[in-house]
Amino acid sequence: MGLTKTDLFTENQNEIAMLAKAIAHPARVAIIEYLLKVNACICNDIVNELPLAQPTISQHLKELKNAGIIKGNIEGNAICYCINEPIFSKIKGLFGPMQPIQNNCC
Amino acid sequence: MGLTKTDLFTENQNEIAMLAKAIAHPARVAIIEYLLKVNACICNDIVNELPLAQPTISQHLKELKNAGIIKGNIEGNAICYCINEPIFSKIKGLFGPMQPIQNNCC
DNA sequence: AAACTATATCGTAATATTGCAATATAAAAA
DNA sequence: TTTTTATATTGCAATATTACGATATAGTTT
């Protein structure tokens, strides 16, 4: 096994899980925080900012891009990365509609 | 490797990643949604609700409990589970302070 | 006590993730 | 054109996750 049974759950549940997974690593949280701070930067700035090797950063950026959380633009021989606002807003509001009425257990 | 370098990141970054990881599976999202709907229930109700085997549900519940998202109370020979409000509220507000000023890249 | 109910744990197979050295690609600068 | 700069990809080793059958544990009922 080791394979998540995606087909057994709703599209919405899978989407929430997918977005959460993209954030489920401190390096990716750090990348998001850095991008929010500087608004936009090239990949190399992130490599210099974080204590991880360049291929590792590249891999994390790829996952964030696949999840739609960031986007990259080619600028000469560099790539300018920034937060993809619509998806990021979605993440912030992910659990908004989930409101426990009361907590009368435990 | 395969080992996340937790010590290289801030406590806050690791906490966000940890909470996100707990939600990063559709079954756990489904469990949270179900608990919010019924407010509280015993583990067996979740086993009947989700299309996964009992040991698998038990494992997911353990992860949610370890992350502090849910809590369980022994009630006879059953265990009553419910959302742990403080942590759940924290998750909802996780990205609140992160506000991109502008999006003038890409 | 014996049977039943509810949950947890163990063991294990399949798969995914993390991290990086080595290397590839491609544009810019010299 | 050679070198430098910036990024991506490949390959691989270490570790983590997912899923579940088998089994253990513990309270409840009969």
Determine, for residues A29 and B9 on separate chains, whether the beta-carbon distance falls below 8 Å: yes
**Pairing between β-strand A78-83 and β-strand B40-42 as defined by DSSP bridges:** unpaired
Distance (Å, whole) CA A54 – CA B37? 44
pLDDT at residue number B1: 65
- A53 exposed, middle or buried (CB, 10 Å; 0-12, 13-18, 19+)? exposed
Residue pLDDT, tens place only, B11-36: 999 999 999 999 999 999 999 999 99
- Closest nucleotide to B51's CA, by C1' atom? D19
Starting at the edge strand found earlier in the chain, the sheet holding B40-42 runs B40-42, B78-83, B70-75
Q: Which residue has the higher pLDDT, A32 or A88?
A: A32
pLDDT of A25 over the 90 cut:
yes
pLDDT over 90 (residue A9): yes
* Percentage of chain A modeled with pLDDT above 70: 87
Nucleotides of D under 7 A from a protein CB: 5-11, 13-22, 26-28
In angstroms, rounded to a whole number, what is the distance separating the alpha carbons of residues A1 and B68? 27
B53 touches strand D (CB under 7 A): yes
Is residue B4 very low, low, confident or very high in pLDDT (cuts 50, 70, 90)? confident
pLDDT band at B43; cut points 50, 70, 90 = very high
Higher model confidence: residue B105 or residue A22? Answer: A22
pLDDT for residue A106: 62
Among A75, A84, A82, which Cα is nearest to A41's?
A82
Phi/psi of residue B101, nearest 5 degrees: -70, -45
Q: What is the pTM of this model?
A: 0.92
Q: In whole angstroms, what is the distance from residue A50 CA to residue A96 CA?
A: 31
Distance of C1' in D1 from CA in B104, Å: 37
End-to-end Cα spacing for chain A: 34
Task: Give residue numbers, 11 to 40 of A, with CB < 7 Å from strand D.
Answer: none
Of A82 and B105, the one with more pLDDT: A82
8 Å CB contact between A90 and A69: no
- Which chain B residue has the Cα nearest residue A25? B17
pLDDT band at A92 (very low <50, low <70, confident <90, very high): confident
**Residue B45 pLDDT level (bands cut at 50, 70, 90):** very high
* Strand C atom within 7 Å of A23 CB: no
Q: List, for residues B52-99, the tens digit of each pLDDT value.
A: 999 999 999 999 999 999 999 999 999 999 999 999 888 887 766 566
pLDDT of residue A88: 87
Q: Give the residue with minimal CA–C1' separation from C29.
A: A77
B96/A95 Cβ within 8 A? no
Q: Which has the closest alpha carbon to B91: B38, B16, B39? A: B16
**Closest CA of chain B from A25, distance in Å:** 5
